[in-house]
Amino acid sequence: MAGHETHYALPRPQFDRPVKLLIVVAPYYRDIADQLLAGARAEIEAAGGAHETVEVPGALEVPTAIGQAFRMSNFDGFVALGCVIRGETTHYDTVCNDSSRALQLLGLQGACIGNGILTVENRAQAEVRADASGQNKGGGAAAAALHLIALARRWGGAKRSVGFLPEKDEFQIAGDTGPEKGPVA
C-alpha cells in the first residue's frame, strides 16, 4: 500500500529573488480541496514565496485558468489542485485524462506547474492523499512547481515577455508619415 512506503523528496529549493505562484483549485469536494490548499500554501510560504488563489468549478477548468494566467499574468509558477473520484460512468476517465494532458501541454510550453489534482477510486483514498499532515499531495504539487521555477531560473528564466509589445506602426514605411488626420469612428 502506498501509504506505508517511504519516498525520497528533493530538498526545498532556495531562491535569491522572491517567487510568486498562482494556486488554482477546484473545490468540488470542499474538504479535500481545503486540505490540498493548506499543504500547498504551507510549502510555498516555507520557501519564502508568495501566492494567490483562485477557484474554478471543476478539474477540467483548472488548466484553462492556468493557461490564461500563463499568457496574461506574471506568475513564476502554478499549482493545480482538485480531486476526481471515480463514479459510475466514464466521465471520470475523461476528466482525469484531459485535465492531466492539458496541464502537461502547458508545462511543455514553459509553464512551471505542480499537478495536485487527485485521481482516486474513493473518498477514503482522497482523504489520505490530501491530508496536509499525511501524504500532503497539495504540498507536493507546490514543491514540484517550486523545483521547476528553480530550474527555469537556473537555465535563464522565461524567454517570453509578459503582456505584449506594440509592433512597428504599419504606416511607418520608407518615409511615409502615416495616414491623414481625420475623424475617429
So which residues are the catalytic ones?
Answer: 91
Backbone angles phi, psi at 80, to 5 degrees: -100, 120
Residue 37's H or E segment, with its range, is: helix 30-46
Closest CA to 85 of 46, 138, 33: 33
13-42 burial, b at 16+ Cβ within 10 Å, e below that, comes to beeeeebebbbbbbbebeebbbbbbbbbbe
Beta pairing partners, 115: 80
Residues contacting residue 24 through CB under 8 Å, at least 6 positions apart: 53, 54, 55, 56, 62, 65, 66, 69, 78, 79, 80, 81
Task: Please name which of 153, 159, 148 lies closest in space to residue 107, comparing C-alpha atoms.
Answer: 148
Report the b/e string of 99-122 with b at 16+ CB within 10 A. Answer: bbebbeebbeeebbbbbbbbbbee
